């Protein structure tokens, strides 16, 4: 097809880009998941561990993604393709490892896994690092398929709040209502469709007049709503118990497991590991400061996650509920809490609107990864790609929507999967979630760090980051921290400890090792439990 655009669209400026990227990062992960995993893992202590993971692993990997995207001006597949060497020893080693694992499994008769691994090994030989980009685009499909289902529930709950249907006397009633709602195929698929439609409409409009424009409108609204909810929550009698729980660290609850949960969540929450930030980075112009943009995005994402906790826990405690309700915290406990306070339906409406807005700006970034790939690499028109893949993801997501709890509606598919792989997850929804969150994102993050650190090289990446942010590479870190960066005697040309050198060490050694350990632990190949 010859409708390939010749000039790449760019963000109109730093703010447009930062708000779009923050919009991608801030999502269900911050408002739905962060509060409940914090609730389950010891409150304030978990928050501290999470902050450490963000600073030490999240931010360095995010800079890599922005640099990869801006340098190549391409989607994840194109970016890896452009920078991959002809042959890479590391890629070959991984390919051999996967191939051998496949052959080994053949001995044990797990032919499904074996064929899969052998095929993957051969693909790694043929395509090398480009497969990391392919995995990112695939993750765009799988994540959005289940993400959009949960986002759809928020639309349903906005409607229910607006029509005053969330009148639950207790959590058991709220749970029954919720279970009934998500298992109702009409509601589940209908709301999921509406959400995908919104994503398609925005991505269809393009980078500036679609994604950037809507991020600029929606992100301030999101901020305002969360502020209002915090004020409401904190002014309830008894709210301080929730604040105390949230801010007082209980280190006895922290173990290897919670550290790894924090690390995995840092990736999901910052939209790392699947190329969303490579894609958004590819629309940045050379003058922007990648380092300060990263700080802003990471800062905003963390701020909103912390604020979500402050909006939720004080209200939950004030009404006498516990913090460890798990995934049902937001859809079951909160509506019950709101019902007990004056103008409850209004607060519930605001809360679910907040959740929907957060999900929407993340959903568009997931769809954009897929769209950008087909526009850049396959020459599709944006309009066509957005609609076609929005529809494809809607169909895949419909399978998630009807199989949230178990396989009862997809028994045929389950039988096939069981036959091939010998095991399945609890539901199709869980399969997509597990595949994306436990496999694609950590492996993607691992390979993005390794690629930047060892293949493209921190030197080349730094040259890219330097455009628009010379401080990053040249200012002595100690002088910077001491407030002496402009002092002539602290500006020698030979710098040892700069932000860049610290970043390089993280990217080459610390991030890959940490992510690898977290990955092995979550897939069950490494047991760190006491």
CA 197 to CA 202: how far, in whole Å?
9
Chain contacts with ligand PHE (rule: CB under 6 A): 24-25, 27-30, 143, 268-269, 271, 274, 276, 362, 365-366
Tokens of 442: 């950590």
Instruction: Read off φ and ψ for residue 377, nearest 5 degrees.
Output: -95, -30
- Smaller CB distance to ligand PHE: residue 274 or 417? 274
Which residues are bridge partners to 498 per DSSP?
476
- Smaller CB distance to ligand PHE: residue 110 or 279? 279
Q: What angle do CA 511, 512, 516 make, to 5 degrees?
A: 115
Residue 159 burial (C-beta neighbours within 10 Å; 0-12, 13-18, 19+): middle
Q: How many CB atoms lie within 10 A of CB 293?
A: 24
Q: Supply the minimum distance, in Å, between the C-beta of residue 358 and ligand PHE.
A: 7
Q: Supply the minimum distance, in Å, between the C-beta of residue 140 and ligand PHE.
A: 8
Max CA pair span of the chain: 72
Q: Supply the minimum distance, in Å, between the C-beta of residue 396 and ligand PHE.
A: 16
CB of 114 closer than 8 Å to CB of 422 = no
- Smaller CB distance to ligand PHE: residue 268 or 313? 268
- Smaller CB distance to ligand PHE: residue 19 or 345? 19
Residue 6 burial (C-beta neighbours within 10 Å; 0-12, 13-18, 19+): exposed
CA distance readout (Å), 221 to 92, 211, 311: 48, 15, 16
Q: Supply the minimum distance, in Å, between the C-beta of residue 69 and ligand PHE.
A: 14
- Smaller CB distance to ligand PHE: residue 297 or 334? 297
Q: Supply the minimum distance, in Å, between the C-beta of residue 26 and ligand PHE.
A: 6
- Smaller CB distance to ligand PHE: residue 437 or 511? 437
- Smaller CB distance to ligand PHE: residue 236 or 359? 359
* Residue whose C-alpha is closest to residue 21's, from 81, 70, 71, 78: 70
CA 22 to CA 219: how far, in whole Å?
8
Q: Supply the minimum distance, in Å, between the C-beta of residue 371 and ligand PHE.
A: 13
Residue 115, SS3 per DSSP: helix
Q: Supply the minimum distance, in Å, between the C-beta of residue 402 and ligand PHE.
A: 22
- Smaller CB distance to ligand PHE: residue 318 or 357? 357
Which residues are bridge partners to 476 per DSSP?
498
CB of 226 closer than 8 Å to CB of 311 = yes
Q: 111 CB contacts (<8 Å, ≥6 apart)?
A: 420
Q: Supply the minimum distance, in Å, between the C-beta of residue 363 and ligand PHE.
A: 8
Q: Supply the minimum distance, in Å, between the C-beta of residue 471 and ligand PHE.
A: 27
- Smaller CB distance to ligand PHE: residue 365 or 427? 365
């Amino acid at each position: 097809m010859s409708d390939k655009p010749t000039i790449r669209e760019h963000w109109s400026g730093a703010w447009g880009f930062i708000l779009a990227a923050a919009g991608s990062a801030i999502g269900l992960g911050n408002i739905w998941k962060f509060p409940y995993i914090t609730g389950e893992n010891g409150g304030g202590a978990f928050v501290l561990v999470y902050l450490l993971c963000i600073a030490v692993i999240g931010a360095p990997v995010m800079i890599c993604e922005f640099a990869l995207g801006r340098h190549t001006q391409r989607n994840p597949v194109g970016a890896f393709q452009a920078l991959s060497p002809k042959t890479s020893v590391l890629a070959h080693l991984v390919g051999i490892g996967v191939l051998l694992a496949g052959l080994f499994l053949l001995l044990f008769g797990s032919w499904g896994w074996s064929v899969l691994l052998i095929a993957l090994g051969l693909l790694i030989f043929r395509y090398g690092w480009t497969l990391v980009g392919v995995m990112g685009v695939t993750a765009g499909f799988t994540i959005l398929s289940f993400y959009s289902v949960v986002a759809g529930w928020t639309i349903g709950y906005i409607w229910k709040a607006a029509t005053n249907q969330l009148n639950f006397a207790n959590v058991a009633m709220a749970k029954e209502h919720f279970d009934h709602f998500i298992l109702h195929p009409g509601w589940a698929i209908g709301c999921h469709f509406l959400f995908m439609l919104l994503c398609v409409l925005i991505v269809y409009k393009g980078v500036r007049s679609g994604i950037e424009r809507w991020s600029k409108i929606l992100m301030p609204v999101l901020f305002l709503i969360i502020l209002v909810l915090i004020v409401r929550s904190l002014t309830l009698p008894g709210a301080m118990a929730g604040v105390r729980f949230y801010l007082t660290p209980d280190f006895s609850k922290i173990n290897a497991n919670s550290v790894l949960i924090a690390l995995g969540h840092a990736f999901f929450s910052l939209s790392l590991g699947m190329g969303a930030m490579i894609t958004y980075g590819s629309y940045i112009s050379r003058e922007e400061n990648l380092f300060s943009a990263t700080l802003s995005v990471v800062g905003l994402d963390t701020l909103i996650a912390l604020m979500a906790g402050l909006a939720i826990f004080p209200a939950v405690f004030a009404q006498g509920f516990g913090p460890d309700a798990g995934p049902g915290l937001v859809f079951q406990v909160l509506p019950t809490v709101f019902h007990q306070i004056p103008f409850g339906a209004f607060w519930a409406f605001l809360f679910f609107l907040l959740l929907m807005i957060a999900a929407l700006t993340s959903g568009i970034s997931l769809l954009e990864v897929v769209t950008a790939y087909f526009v850049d690499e396959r020459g599709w028109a944006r309009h066509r790609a957005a609609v076609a893949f929005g529809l494809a993801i809607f169909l895949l997501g419909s399978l998630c929507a009807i199989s949230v709890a178990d396989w009862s509606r997809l028994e045929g598919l389950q039988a096939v999967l069981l036959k091939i792989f010998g095991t399945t997850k609890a539901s199709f929804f869980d399969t997509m979630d597990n595949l994306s969150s436990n496999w694609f994102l950590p492996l993607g993050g691992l390979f993005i760090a390794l690629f930047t650190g060892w293949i493209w090289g921190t030197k080349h990446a730094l040259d890219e980051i330097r455009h628009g942010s010379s401080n990053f590479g040249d200012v002595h870190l100690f002088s910077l921290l001491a407030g002496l960066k402009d002092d002539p005697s602290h500006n020698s040309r030979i710098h040892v400890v700069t932000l860049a050198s610290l970043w390089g060490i993280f990217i080459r050694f610390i991030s890959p090792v940490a992510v690898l350990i977290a990955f092995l632990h979550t897939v069950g190949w490494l047991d760190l439990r006491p």
